C-alpha cells in the first residue's frame, strides 16, 4: 500500500479500522482468559502477539508490547521493570501498538482480577477522564500538546490521582509514523509541545492523535492505563 498517496478520508477509515481490530484483539484476550493469576507478564505479551497473528495475520508492532501488573503498573513507558507474575487479586494493564496493513493502532486498557475496591476505583476512573480529555480537545480548536498535557495532569490531581507520565499521547498514522513525522516534542502531548495539535504533518497530511491516561495510586503502589484515538471517532461513538 502506498499509504502516503491516499485521500484523507481513506486514511481516517484505515486508522479507525486498525483501532477496531485492536478492540477485537483485546476482547478476545478477555474471552480466552489470557490475563490470569499465575501467568507472567512476558508470557501474556507473547500469547497476545501470537493471538494477533492468528486473528489478523499480523506480527508487527510499532512500539514495544507492554503488559504490566501490580507494582509494575507504576512504571512509565520507557522503563522495563522485571517480569512479574500476575496475582490472584491483581491489577494489570495492556499497551499494544499493532500494525494492520501498514496502519498503526495504539490501544491500552486496564483489568482488575478480584474485587479490590481501590483497584476497581482506579480502573473505573480512567475512561471518564479520557473522555473529558477528548471533550476538552474538541472544545478548544487551537489547543497545543503542552496545554492538553497540563489540563490532563490537573484534572487527574483534582480527582485524587497522580499523573507522572512524561507524555499524555502522541501522533499515530501510517507505519512508521515516526519516520514521517520525526521525533520533535511537538509530536507528543507533552510539556514543550507548543504547536497546535490540529495541523498538517511534514508531508501535508492531517495529524491524528492518541490520548493516553496513566493514573497512579501512590499510597497503594499501583496504577492504570487507558488509551485510544483522540481526534477520530468510529460511527458507533457518540
Give 28: exposed, middle or buried? Use CB within 10 Å, 0-12, 13-18, 19+: middle
pLDDT of 117 strictly over 80:
yes
Mean predicted confidence (pLDDT) in 127-134: 98
Give the residue from 155, 160, 145, 152 showing the smallest Cα distance to 196: 145
> Would you state the pLDDT for residue 234?
80
Q: Which residue do the cell numbers 486498525 mark? A: 18
Q: Which residue do the cell numbers 501512590 mark? A: 218
**SS3 of 211, please?**
strand
pLDDT in tens, 165-176: 999 999 999 998
> Would you state the pLDDT for residue 222?
98
pLDDT of 84 strictly over 80:
yes
Mean predicted confidence (pLDDT) in 91-104: 96
Q: Which residue do the cell numbers 499494544 mark? A: 96
pLDDT in tens, 28-45: 999 999 999 999 999 999
Write the CB contacts of 176 (distance below 8 Å, at least 6 apart in sequence). 62, 104
Domain 3-229, CATH 3.90.230.10 — does that match? yes
Alpha-carbon distance 206 to 92, whole Å?
Answer: 34
Q: Check if the beta carbon of residue 238 is closer than 8 Å to that of residue 185.
A: no
Percent of the chain residues past pLDDT 70, beyond the cut: 95
> Would you state the pLDDT for residue 3?
41
> Would you state the pLDDT for residue 178?
72
Whether the bond between 87 and the residue before it is cis, its omega within 30 degrees of 0, is no
Average of per-residue pLDDT values in the chain: 94
Amino acid at each position: 500500500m502506498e499509504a502516503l498517496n491516499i485521500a484523507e478520508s481513506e486514511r481516517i477509515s484505515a486508522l479507525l479500522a486498525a483501532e477496531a481490530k485492536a478492540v477485537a484483539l483485546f476482547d478476545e484476550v478477555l474471552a480466552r482468559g489470557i490475563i490470569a493469576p499465575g501467568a507472567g507478564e512476558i508470557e501474556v505479551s507473547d500469547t497476545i502477539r501470537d493471538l494477533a497473528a492468528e486473528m489478523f495475520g499480523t506480527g508487527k508492532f510499532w512500539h514495544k508490547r507492554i503488559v504490566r501488573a501490580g507494582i509494575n503498573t507504576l512504571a512509565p513507558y520507557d522503563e522495563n521493570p522485571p517480569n512479574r507474575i500476575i496475582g490472584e487479586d491483581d491489577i494489570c494493564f495492556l499497551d499494544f501498538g499493532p500494525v494492520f496493513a501498514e496502519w498503526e493502532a495504539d490501544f491500552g486498557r486496564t483489568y482488575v482480577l478480584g474485587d479490590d475496591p481501590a483497584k476497581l476505583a482506579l480502573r473505573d476512573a480512567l475512561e471518564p477522564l479520557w473522555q473529558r480529555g477528548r471533550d476538552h480537545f474538541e472544545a478548544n480548536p487551537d489547543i497545543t500538546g503542552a496545554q492538553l498535557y497540563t489540563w490532563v495532569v490537573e484534572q487527574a490531581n483534582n480527582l485524587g490521582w497522580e499523573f507522572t507520565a512524561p507524555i499524555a499521547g502522541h501522533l499515530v498514522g501510517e507505519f512508521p509514523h515516526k519516520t514521517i513525522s520525526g521525533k520533535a516534542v511537538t509530536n507528543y502531548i507533552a510539556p514543550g509541545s507548543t504547536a497546535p495539535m490540529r495541523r498538517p504533518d511534514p508531508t501535508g497530511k492531517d495529524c491524528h492523535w492518541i490520548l493516553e491516561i496513566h493514573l497512579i495510586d501512590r499510597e497503594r503502589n499501583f496504577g492504570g492505563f487507558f488509551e485510544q484515538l483522540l481526534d477520530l471517532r468510529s460511527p458507533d461513538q457518540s
